[in-house]
Structure 1
């Protein structure tokens, strides 16, 4: 200590200042103890209530672990301190701890952790390697922060670390540590030949450490883990998978199925399917297991459990296909134009004959004659086969004549310009209702299930996509399958799209309805843009048929009429309806549909007002509507903006004048816009126009003055079908790969969701994927509306998870059902389904808790309630131990007990685990009896022994 004085008037100093120099050194151990003590107090870990829980074997099988951690310093090393405890087990207060385990009052000195050694309920505890090996439920782990630089490298460091832990726990008043236990741990990666491999050998080694044991209380628990040798495999479903053989033309056209996306795992998705035979808490003399002798039969074990692990890097067909589409759309390849193929008339006729003829003519060419032929292009016969499947062609359709198929239509179809429903293809769209009805019938009367399915149906119906089973879906799925096919990806994709575009043009030119699309339905703006364009093309075909039919009728009418004759158009408008002729003063009326109620013309009260035949409104797509809106916005003059929208009104006015000679503007308003005619007298019908229809420069009035008396059949068509069709085909031919993929993405993602929903309903996987599927459908709904690739990528992740679960459930269920010795009832099949779902759920728990145990621990298992006797147990017995009833030739021979237990290379077990417990006095004869425990695990990959010994130590106060 040094004393120094300074002047009191020195600025910044107060009187005398004492400087203390402390030469005390804080050791590494003291620093570690201080940090640990502070951490334990921070976590509020005090008292002797640790490892004191109320549980059963069943509760422990579903044990879920929680943890918290912090970092401390030990010299130059950094350690992670993690505190683990079971969060779903009920903790018992210290006052009632004597009720937890049935122990004598003389054993009250034991800690709660030591009491757990008496209980066989903790044997092979799932989820935690520490609980499985040392029998405790609540513990603290110290691990290196960096396993390379911070590891404890020698025995002195380890002993110092253990001493610091004991000291800090005592200062913090925390007694969860079994500080009076000596823990030994032995681990080898390779098993030496002369090492112990049986329960008898472990008993001998155990007795050497506990020489004063009471052998009457010695208990043994054993678990033998078997892994299925002939692993389940998922064969490629030919109906949903594009393989190289499918590119070959075949008589069986059902080889290509473009109604669904490919589904399932590309390789074996099941990494391990295991069965555990368990003997729990048996006496020493019951189980005899020596090097060359054993009385243990795995099929007669006291209990059984199973587990399954899924291959983490497995790929799945549906999600891989969608992911590849997204990757190409974002890549440089996506900016390229889809190969445009020029067709001359000769080439087009030859290509068309190749598609419509059942035989393959020579020298077929649907490629451009102006470019070099790419060797990667598919053969025309293969493309023809795909086109036939996309457009659902049959041999009868190949023989359709090339002449106009809509010439012989009646006059009503020719001049009405309204909706007509001619017979033709399009029934595929109607299959949607049947599909939905089938789904509804397959759902059992379960409130939650029906609610989920209804929610899924409502969400998918709101997607901005296309109807299920429509041509849009078939084209999208065919393109996706072709792009993801091996060896034919980019070339086949371009070639198929060019052929589809050419085929759509042929349908328009030949006046044939496009199959899989409803006829004469205006584009639905709630669907995707691709489907809207196909609907517009269908409307163009309908309009072309009407136009050509009208021209044919006019030609026939002109040939038949004389100079003095006039045929009134309404005479043959509708079958079964007769419209009385008016007086001679209105005999010149044309284009009448029916009387408009009882209204009469204002200037001619003796004449009825007739509703005219008008042209149908111009069908527009979302893109056309956006362009029209932009055009209107570009017009600065309001009058020009109004005039740009008056073309349909002008056509209606001309048709009204033709149907009602002598009518006035007020008559037209009463028919077209009744709200704009204000009636003054209900009896006489007298009234006046609203303010909207009056005033100087009124656009309606001006349009009325310009309109001539002209029926709809002689008017200029509002909808130019040729221009619309050419625009659609031209846009299709000039799409980039990325744009085309974006076109079909909404359709594909909805189809993928529908497939998963079908699997969800058919296999009743409600508890397993119900919530996941609901979230996926919501994401798909958002994707189809935003059309952002980032949203699609996020949805693909969910599709991968669901496809993984469903595919693994399907293969496990098929494997178990096929292994049954009898025909299963519906209840037995349902029991197997529930068992499979429990297996997959246990795998998810294993994955979430890998940090706590991994494969070194027991992991989460599914117990088999009825052993190997029920439907599940008998199927597992046949799978793992062979069946003499079926599939004997396809299974490996049953191993003898010597082969099972001696450890030769052909042994089928994956791991053997032993737990031995007894009472023993340590370290002397006068010590109190304490619990002792040994855990051992033997497999081909590891040899692990964990020995936990209790010693009776008394601390004397000096």
Structure 2
């Protein structure tokens, strides 16, 4: 099941409850748990073990998780288990893509090797290749320049060549081959080479769940300089972006990357010749080049982390980089969380999700847009969010009143559900007369409001609702159509029917039971019974079941032997 928009028809207050969307996998698990084993804790534990086992099977077999989107961002407003399952679905999708790319690569290499063997067979009759020449061609591949290496500090250093060495045009072009370009960025030009600046293809930022964000915030609090540590946390993303930028712009310098990636850190000296708001450098003529500007103080500081990353980053397009999100590692971490989750953490999220799913189910009921009913549903979400807050924040204690609050919340749900049933029924019966349904529901709500909000189950159930409503002329046919008069055949059968209370319509089945009881003493069946034994037994029992088509009679006779 592929669900792209879980929350398109959600209630505006549903995000106050930290649960899972109604159609999501975890929400369906919670609703199924309410019916499984009569909601017994042992049954829920067994059900959860089987659930995690099925999730692991999907992971190991690279099968998509049902009812979970395999793309998009993590919805941090949901419960942590739903976030983990959404993250796992994305990891499965990425893992499947990597497997497909790997098999495609293996297949292409096999085809290439076969074609190379065929070429060698043909070339034997013409010219024997020189091993040295073949090795030179292999080493001088455009994707791996031979004259550029990495020094100890990560900066690029060039190999020294003999004095009489003259680089060929092929080797020179391979050093400056543009890779991974997404296109030219407007009028922006490189500062040193005066060439068009190309935007690279970059990797998406790694997705994180709520607990991963909290770990980062705790790490930031542990350091005095939070800004520098935030930059440290973004080192992997910066490293990837800088590598891709270098590959797309081989002659770029650090200032070019800042002008493209962080225009706010490039200060313009002359405001009359400033760059446009988007950060693009305008080039009117060659006399205005290079543009007048400099790095901000933050980027100009000695030992700046961004410049260090720039010096360490190689020129690699995203296709040759290590993925920022390792689906195998993250997937195993998620499964470890699901397999080792504490029972109280699981139950807290299940309770919140179950109440949220129940409220969403009520909200999906069509009741004609009655304002009073809509107000009740709005209040239901807010009340549930308030009472479930200790569960969401994991603030339960021994003397907590959360259990009693949950009982009261269940009673409130029952009241709202009963009102919603009345509203939906009136809406369907009076589709052509909405004013009548609204008037009847308003009167019934006032009658029933005495039970609402108290959270007490011991209410007087003998109260009856009655009202008189003035019916307009155009509404009378609608009301009269609800009471269909019996036909002639039905009227005739009504006279012959026995115990018929359905306005002329015979019941589907009639059941009649006759029984007779006798004392054991004095009965011919009890000639050998002990003296003083006077208990009654049911000696005769007749059961009659009749419909309009058949009649069944059963007789049983009991004896005391």
Taking structure 1 as the reference length, the TM-score comes to 0.38
Cα distance in 2 for residues equivalent to 1:601 and 1:832? 72
Superimposed CA distance per residue, residues 817-843 of structure 1 (whole angstroms, 9 cap, x where no aligned partner): 9xxxxxx77447974785476456435
SS in 1 for 2:367: helix
Contact 2:26–2:82, Cα closer than 8 Å, also in 1: yes
Cα distance, 1:689 vs structure 2: 0.7
SS in 1 for 2:73: coil
Cα distance in 2 for residues equivalent to 1:465 and 1:890? 55
Contact 1:657–1:710, Cα closer than 8 Å, also in 2: yes
Are 1:629 and 2:217 an aligned pair?
Answer: yes
Cα distance in 2 for residues equivalent to 1:846 and 1:545? 55
Cα distance, 1:620 vs structure 2: 0.4
SS in 1 for 2:309: helix
Cα distance, 1:595 vs structure 2: 2.2
Superimposed CA distance per residue, residues 340-397 of structure 1 (whole angstroms, 9 cap, x where no aligned partner): xxxxxxxxxxxxxxxxxxxxxxxxxxxxxxxxxxxxxxxxxxxxxxxxxxxxxxxxxx
Of 762, 774, 787 in structure 1, the residue corresponding to residue 378 of structure 2 is: 774
- After TM superposition, the structure 1 = structure 2 runs for residues 399-438 of structure 1, keeping only pairs within 5 Å, are 425-426=1-2, 428-430=3-5, 433=8, 436=9
Cα distance, 1:894 vs structure 2: 7.1
Cα distance, 1:665 vs structure 2: 0.5
Contact 1:429–1:518, Cα closer than 8 Å, also in 2: yes
Of 180, 193, 204 in structure 2, the residue corresponding to residue 616 of structure 1 is: 204
Cα distance in 2 for residues equivalent to 1:723 and 1:658? 28
SS in 2 for 1:588: coil
With over 3 angstroms needed to count, the CA separation of the structure-2 counterparts of 1:889 and 1:510, relative to structure 1, is: farther
- After TM superposition, the structure 1 = structure 2 runs for residues 376-387 of structure 1, keeping only pairs within 5 Å, are none
Aligned twin of 2:36: 482
Are 1:744 and 2:295 an aligned pair?
Answer: no
Cα distance in 2 for residues equivalent to 1:725 and 1:885? 72
Contact 1:846–1:859, Cα closer than 8 Å, also in 2: no
Of 660, 673, 693 in structure 1, the residue corresponding to residue 249 of structure 2 is: 660
Aligned twin of 2:149: none
Superimposed CA distance per residue, residues 895-931 of structure 1 (whole angstroms, 9 cap, x where no aligned partner): 9xxxxxxxxxxxxxxxxxxxxxxxxxxxxxxxxxxxx
Are 1:671 and 2:225 an aligned pair?
Answer: no
Cα distance, 1:662 vs structure 2: 2.2
Aligned twin of 1:863: 468
Cα distance in 1 for residues equivalent to 2:19 and 2:452? 36
Tell me which protein shows more strand as a share of its residues: 1
Cα distance, 1:673 vs structure 2: 0.6
Cα distance in 1 for residues equivalent to 2:297 and 2:73? 34
Contact 1:483–1:493, Cα closer than 8 Å, also in 2: yes
Aligned twin of 2:558: none
Cα distance, 1:520 vs structure 2: 2.1
Aligned twin of 2:235: 646
Cα distance, 1:593 vs structure 2: 2.4
Cα distance in 2 for residues equivalent to 1:432 and 1:712? 33
Cα distance in 2 for residues equivalent to 1:836 and 1:522? 43
Superimposed CA distance per residue, residues 157-191 of structure 1 (whole angstroms, 9 cap, x where no aligned partner): xxxxxxxxxxxxxxxxxxxxxxxxxxxxxxxxxxx
Question: Which structure 2 residue ranges, 5 or more long, are not aligned?
Answer: 117-136, 145-171, 274-287, 397-401, 454-458, 503-561
Of 790, 795, 800 in structure 1, the residue corresponding to residue 414 of structure 2 is: 800
Are 1:710 and 2:344 an aligned pair?
Answer: no
Aligned twin of 1:539: 90
Cα distance in 2 for residues equivalent to 1:628 and 1:794? 38
Are 1:471 and 2:46 an aligned pair?
Answer: no
With over 3 angstroms needed to count, the CA separation of the structure-2 counterparts of 1:859 and 1:665, relative to structure 1, is: closer
Of 193, 196, 208 in structure 2, the residue corresponding to residue 604 of structure 1 is: 193
Are 1:892 and 2:531 an aligned pair?
Answer: no
Bigger RCO of structures 1 and 2 (CA < 8 A, at least 6 apart):
1
Of 73, 89, 100 in structure 2, the residue corresponding to residue 522 of structure 1 is: 73
Cα distance in 1 for residues equivalent to 2:59 and 2:491? 64
Cα distance, 1:622 vs structure 2: 0.6
Superimposed CA distance per residue, residues 664-684 of structure 1 (whole angstroms, 9 cap, x where no aligned partner): 111111111111112346443
Cα distance, 1:691 vs structure 2: 0.8
Are 1:496 and 2:84 an aligned pair?
Answer: no
Contact 1:765–1:837, Cα closer than 8 Å, also in 2: no
With over 3 angstroms needed to count, the CA separation of the structure-2 counterparts of 1:543 and 1:894, relative to structure 1, is: closer
Aligned twin of 2:63: 512
Contact 2:187–2:196, Cα closer than 8 Å, also in 1: yes
Cα distance in 2 for residues equivalent to 1:801 and 1:741? 25
With over 3 angstroms needed to count, the CA separation of the structure-2 counterparts of 1:504 and 1:716, relative to structure 1, is: same
Cα distance in 1 for residues equivalent to 2:44 and 2:35? 9
Cα distance, 1:860 vs structure 2: 6.9
Tell me which protein shows more helix as a share of its residues: 2
SS in 2 for 1:862: coil
SS in 2 for 1:630: helix
Cα distance in 2 for residues equivalent to 1:660 and 1:803? 64
Cα distance, 1:874 vs structure 2: 9.1
Cα distance in 1 for residues equivalent to 2:238 and 2:436? 67
Cα distance, 1:482 vs structure 2: 2.0
Contact 2:430–2:436, Cα closer than 8 Å, also in 1: no
Cα distance, 1:499 vs structure 2: 2.2
Aligned twin of 1:459: 13
With over 3 angstroms needed to count, the CA separation of the structure-2 counterparts of 1:780 and 1:844, relative to structure 1, is: closer
Are 1:719 and 2:325 an aligned pair?
Answer: yes
Look at both structures and tell me which one has the larger radius of gyration over its CA atoms: 1
With over 3 angstroms needed to count, the CA separation of the structure-2 counterparts of 1:770 and 1:636, relative to structure 1, is: closer
Contact 1:651–1:715, Cα closer than 8 Å, also in 2: yes
Contact 2:87–2:209, Cα closer than 8 Å, also in 1: yes
With over 3 angstroms needed to count, the CA separation of the structure-2 counterparts of 1:501 and 1:800, relative to structure 1, is: same
Contact 2:37–2:43, Cα closer than 8 Å, also in 1: yes
Cα distance, 1:739 vs structure 2: 1.6
Of 684, 689, 713 in structure 1, the residue corresponding to residue 295 of structure 2 is: 689
With over 3 angstroms needed to count, the CA separation of the structure-2 counterparts of 1:717 and 1:771, relative to structure 1, is: closer
Contact 1:846–1:860, Cα closer than 8 Å, also in 2: no
With over 3 angstroms needed to count, the CA separation of the structure-2 counterparts of 1:847 and 1:495, relative to structure 1, is: closer
With over 3 angstroms needed to count, the CA separation of the structure-2 counterparts of 1:775 and 1:497, relative to structure 1, is: same
Cα distance in 2 for residues equivalent to 1:762 and 1:745? 27
Cα distance in 2 for residues equivalent to 1:687 and 1:723? 44
SS in 1 for 2:316: coil
SS in 2 for 1:779: helix
Cα distance in 2 for residues equivalent to 1:886 and 1:620? 71
With over 3 angstroms needed to count, the CA separation of the structure-2 counterparts of 1:507 and 1:498, relative to structure 1, is: same
Cα distance, 1:493 vs structure 2: 2.2
Cα distance in 2 for residues equivalent to 1:540 and 1:694? 39
Cα distance in 1 for residues equivalent to 2:494 and 2:357? 38
Cα distance in 1 for residues equivalent to 2:209 and 2:320? 26
Q: How many residues align?
A: 413
Cα distance in 2 for residues equivalent to 1:473 and 1:870? 45
Cα distance, 1:558 vs structure 2: 5.6
Cα distance in 1 for residues equivalent to 2:325 and 2:469? 70
- After TM superposition, the structure 1 = structure 2 runs for residues 248-397 of structure 1, keeping only pairs within 5 Å, are none
Aligned twin of 1:762: 367
Cα distance in 1 for residues equivalent to 2:413 and 2:251? 67
